[in-house]
Amino acid sequence: CGRGDINLYAVFGEAGRRLLEPSGRMGMVLPSGIASDDTTKLYFQNVVDSGSLVSLFDFENKNIFPEVHSSYKFCLFTAGSGKQVPAGRFPGEAAEFVFFAHSVDDLRDPERRFSLSADDIALLNPNTRTCPIFRSRRDAELTKAIYRRVPVLIREARDGKPEENPWGIRFSRMFDMSNDSHLFRTREQLEAEGWLLEGNIFHRSGEQYLPLYEAKMIHHYDHRWSTYEPNGDTRDITPEERKNPYKMVLPRYWLSSKDIDSALVNTNWKHQWLIGWRDICRSTDERTVIAGIIPRVAVGDKFLLCFPQNKSIALLGIFSSFPFDYTARQKQGGTSLKYFTFRQLPFISPEVFDKSCTWAPKGNTNQWLFPYILELSYQSNDLVSFAWDYGWSGPPFRWDEDRRFLLRCELDAAFFHLYLPSEPDGSWRLLESEPATIRHSLLAAFPTPRDAVSYIMDTFPIVRRKDEAKYGDFRTKPVILEIYDAMQEAMRTGVPYQTRLDPPPADPRCCHPPREAGK
């Protein structure tokens, strides 16, 4: 545990284990980061791999330790020395877990208490071997089923095997909001120096200062989520403003385009747009992963960038889908979605999208997804280079809330089929490598993939609450399930799924009319 910024609790936990006799065991009250933080991963990996972890019971601090902030999580950590099987255990016995408990009584709930073996942890977090975080036994079974069918984004080299990185992903953080602040310029400073603002870019004598986007300005399929006001406050962009393809969000700060080029020089990124996700998140938020594309601008350190060498537009769809978000929630015990966590999230392999689309077999899955993601993403003129890169030469698409709702529901239904593959009759597509005991556990928890889809949607209570406030009911879930069923019927009959959208996705009739000269 002597790694990175050393925390006393980690060293204390390691010292306690070293003091044990070979068959002894210890019990400690420790911060839950002992099992999930990057700096303690080697310690936790050793505890798991040696078969010495007995149990880990994680608590939210709800009036348990009054002098400690309620957001500070802790666990009851019980382990052996690693030299022998702990007393009262047998070789290979899986450890027991409970997460998000509020009292000791929660440890007795059979739906919340579950077991994970060393192999399970290696499946779910193959790089760090840190502990996944499940609220229930059903979450554990479903997440393991997804990971057995979908590989992690990047599997690091290990045990003589090379790194696996099918998307060719590289990562980068562009500008630190504190350490790089000497590069930042305010609107007042630039205007005083004679720079002219056009849209959200300052120009002078052939040079440019580009906006600094912060994470809170970006959302799913929307790089114009919020803007800064002249007084320094932020506000959400209104639906009416989003309908204007020339409306640009304004930042707090601007940076020289030369500094931005320098920050990207080692990424080998040639495009005039960027893709990334918000670092700040919680498993209790409306959505855990909030990702999107933005123009090639400056980016603050709370919006983490990735640079895929594979050009498939499907990656954007993965980022914003419900099944992907659900799996990310099982990894989030804190408030940051860092690279080491992101690398171990399940990403459908690029070659899957090149195969025939099971619910519309006339083309491959990439071709089916493309118009949906293009129309959702290309809503303003500052992403024209993104559209051109994917072969679209028309103007941006109009912002239509009802239409965007259906576009996203059809996309989510499609990604549920990709993450939870089924046979034409709607049953699980089981794997030959799955032992009978694992199959039994999965089928007992979720008899069909559709049952899993319904369950996953119920794990987003804030989405439900917002739907009820807007529509009077939880509209997103039944619409996705209806579309999911229609796609399943298409797979059974061979008759291609027909979109609910009229006109269909990315139809030129949905575009803004070209701007007239002089306007």
Q: What is the pLDDT along the chain (519 residues), one digit of tens a residue?
A: 888 888 899 999 999 999 999 989 999 999 998 998 888 989 999 999 888 999 999 999 988 999 988 878 899 999 999 888 877 777 778 899 999 999 999 999 999 999 999 899 999 999 988 888 899 999 999 999 999 999 999 999 988 999 999 999 999 889 999 999 999 999 999 999 999 999 999 999 999 999 999 999 999 999 999 999 988 899 999 999 999 999 999 999 999 999 999 999 989 899 999 999 999 886 667 899 999 999 999 999 999 999 999 878 999 999 999 999 999 998 876 678 889 889 999 999 999 999 999 999 788 999 999 999 999 999 999 999 999 999 999 999 999 999 999 999 999 999 999 999 999 999 999 998 888 888 999 999 999 999 999 999 999 999 999 999 999 999 999 999 999 999 999 999 999 999 999 999 999 999 998 776 555
Give CA–CA dist 286/470, Å, rounded.
15
Give CA–CA dist 476/452, Å, rounded.
16
Going across the sheet that includes 303-308, the strands are 169-172, 303-308, 273-278, 291-295
The total of other beta-carbon atoms located within 10 Å of residue 121's CB is 23
Question: What is the 8-class DSSP label of residue 254?
Answer: E
Chain centroid, CA 463 distance in Å: 16
What is the phi/psi pair of residue 494, to 5°?
85, 0
CB contact burial 297-314 (16+ within 10 A = b; e otherwise): bbbbbbbbbbbbeeebbb
Is residue 149 classed as helix, strand or coil in its secondary structure?
Answer: helix
Give CA–CA dist 384/292, Å, rounded.
15
CA dihedral 425, 430, 436, 438 (to 10 degrees): -110
Q: How far apart are the first and last CA of the chain?
A: 63
pTM (predicted TM-score): 0.92
CB 69 within 8 A of CB 61: yes
Give CA–CA dist 260/254, Å, rounded.
10
CB 341 within 8 A of CB 335: no
The total of other beta-carbon atoms located within 10 Å of residue 107's CB is 15
Crossing angle between the packed helical segments 461-471 and 476-493, to the nearest 10 degrees: 110
Is residue 456 classed as helix, strand or coil in its secondary structure?
Answer: helix
